[in-house]
Chain A
C-alpha cells in the first residue's frame, strides 16, 4: 500500500464505488433478457490505468462493499470468502496487462491495444468466474454429495453463461471506450506528490 500515493488510493476507492453503483442501478441493462451487468468495467479501468495491485485492491473493496451494503449472500463462511473476497479481487488480474495496453495506446497502435484489452478483460473475468464456479461446486457438494457430477455441471452452466455474457459486454465496451478516450488509462499522472503512509 505504501507504493500508492493518496490520489491513487482515492481513485481505487471511487472506482470500487463506481462498480458498486453500476451494480445497484436496476434499469441499466442492454437488453431485458440479459441481466449481465458491466459493473466490472470501473475495476478494469483502474487495473489498466494503475496496474495489477491497484486493480486487485479495487476489486477487493468492491467485494467488501457488497457485504457491507447487504448485497451479498452469505451461506457458508467458505462460500462468502471465495465469492466476495477472492473472486472480486481477482478481477484485478486484468492489470497484469496494464503496461502493454498503456504503451500501445500511447503509440496509437489501436489493434494491439484492443487485443490486449480483450485479453486483460478475459483474464480478469475468467479468474473471477472460476472462483464463483468453484464456490458453487463446493457449496452443492456439501449439500448434495449423492448427486454425483450434477454440482459441477450445474455450476459450470450457471457461471459459464454469466461469464461469457459479462466478458463479451465488458470487452466490447472497454474497446469502444478506450478507443474513444485512451486518456482514461494513459493519463495516470498525479497532481499530488506525497505518499500516503
Chain B
C-alpha cells in the first residue's frame, strides 16, 4: 500500500510531473530574466511562463488543410511523455531514482524521441516553413547528437558504470568529472544547446527566416504541450548534466543536498543563457561543418584519452 502511494507520489508530485512542471516554468523565467537583464531590458514577471501556458490552453486550436490531424494531435503528447519518462531515471537532490545498469543509454534514447517528434511535426503540419524547419532539425540532430553521446560516455567509462546514479555516487568521493574531463563537459554543454535548440543553434526555429519552423502551424493546446515538453526537456537536460558531470548533490562539505543540486543546476542554466546572448545564429551548413569537423573529432579525442589514461 505504502509502495503504491509512494510510487504515485514520485510519478505525480516529486520528482514527477508537478515538480518538473514547476522546474520548467522556473527555469524558463530565470532564463528570460537573465537574457533580458544582459540586454538592458526589464524581463518578465515571475508568473509570465505560467500565464503563457494558461493562455495557450485557452486559445483556438486549428491546423491547416493538408496537415495530418491524428499525427499532429499525438506528436506533442509523445514528446511530453518521452521527456517525463526520461526524468524518472535522473536523481534529483536527495531522491534516488529507480536505477539499473544502462539507464544512461535509456535516458539518452528517450531524450531523442522529442527531436524525432519535432521533425515529424514539421513534415506533417502542412506548411512550407515547417517542412524546411523539419529538415533543418534533422540535419541539426545528426550534427550535435554524436558529439553529445560520446561526451556523455566519457564519465560512464571513467566511473565504470552506465547507470546515472552510480556515476553520481562515484563523484561524492572523487573530483567532479567536469574538472577531470573539461573537454567532455564543454562538448556536453554544446550538445545540450543543440538539443534544446537554443541560440546559436536555434536554426530550426529561426524566427526571421521560417516563422517558427516545425511548430509554425500549431496553436492552442497542442502548442502548449509542445512548449511544455521543450521546457521540461531543458530542465531534464540540465539535471542530467549536473548529475553526470558536476557530481549531483555532493559538494564535499555537509550541505543540504537539494540546495546544492539547485545551485549547480542554476549555474548550468546561467551558462546556457550567457551563450544565448553572446552569439549570432549559425547557418545549418555551418553547424553541420562544426559538428562533424570540430566537435566529433574532439569528442573522439576525449573518449580516447579517458580509455587510455583515465581508467585503471
The answer to whether A and B assemble together is: no
